[in-house]
Amino acid sequence: MLKKLLLLPFAIVTMNSFAANPYTDCGIGAALFPNTNWAAVTSNVIWDAGTTAVISATASEDTCSGGAVETAQLIHDKYELLETDIMLGEGTNLVALTKSLDCEDSSALRSSIKSNLVSVLNTEGYAEDSRIDKSIKLYEAFQSNDVVASSCSVAI
């Protein structure tokens, strides 16, 4: 049974070789191994059973490669530190976020990002949300942010 479960992602890659595949094109695996499908699949499955890859593919298929993947990964990995930096309006994690989005840094951008975070913090059930849920909410808030869209080169 375990062998079948471990082979499932590889079967999915083979069956979907002509379509976008979350195990090769999304998540941690795609960010770490953009040109090596088997390594991307292996990484995604080992890291979190492919959950991040599938969620990113389901939530927004167009974000499954390039800088958007790096941004999503940064938000997830540094979420608590990003919260602090965004609220303070400065810090290395906020700088890393704006660099991953290739943004022209401005007070308007920082204010807009802070507004996004405040809206996420005010969502019902926020305190009980998992890190991935919090990360997804913040990432999605950036997707609808006009200031982010006009100040940053990486489309999320």
Tens-place pLDDT, residues 59-106: 665 556 556 777 888 898 899 999 999 999 999 999 999 998 899 989
Domain extent, residue 133, equals: 67-151
| 147 shares a domain with 97 | yes
Count the residues in the chain.
Answer: 156
Spell out the residues 6+ positions from residue 51 whose beta carbon is closer than 8 angstroms to its own: 132
pLDDT at 44: 74
The residue among 26, 24, 28 whose CA lies nearest residue 12 is 24
* Per-residue model confidence as pLDDT tens digits over 6-22: 444 444 443 333 335 77
Residue 127 confidence (pLDDT): 93
Determine the pLDDT at residue 27.
Answer: 74
Does residue 73 belong to any structural domain of this protein? yes
Helix (H, G, I), strand (E, B) or coil at 152: strand
122-138: pLDDT as tens digits: 999 999 998 888 988 99
Residues 41 and 25 both lie in one domain: yes
Instruction: Work out the pLDDT band at 48, boundaries 50, 70, 90.
Output: confident
In angstroms, the Cα distances linking 5 to 2, 35, 44 are 5, 24, 14
Query: Is a pLDDT exceeding 80 seen at residue 149?
Result: yes
Q: Is the same domain home to 53 and 80? A: no
If one compares 47 and 121, the residue with the highest pLDDT of the two is 121
Specify the pLDDT at position 62. Answer: 59
Clarify whether residues 37 and 79 are in a common domain.
Answer: no
User: CA 35 to CA 109: how far, in whole Å?
Assistant: 33
Question: Would you say residue 24 has pLDDT above 60?
Answer: yes
Of 15, 31, 42, whose CA–CA distance to 76 is shortest? 31
Same domain, 79 and 144: yes
| Domain contains 46 | yes
Q: Which residue has the higher pLDDT, 31 or 97?
A: 97
Radius of gyration of the chain (CA): 16
Backbone angles phi, psi at 45, to 5 degrees: -70, -45
The answer to whether residues 87 and 52 belong to one domain is no
In a domain, 116, yes or no: yes
CA distances from 107 to 43, 61, 111, 134, 149 (A): 38, 31, 6, 24, 15
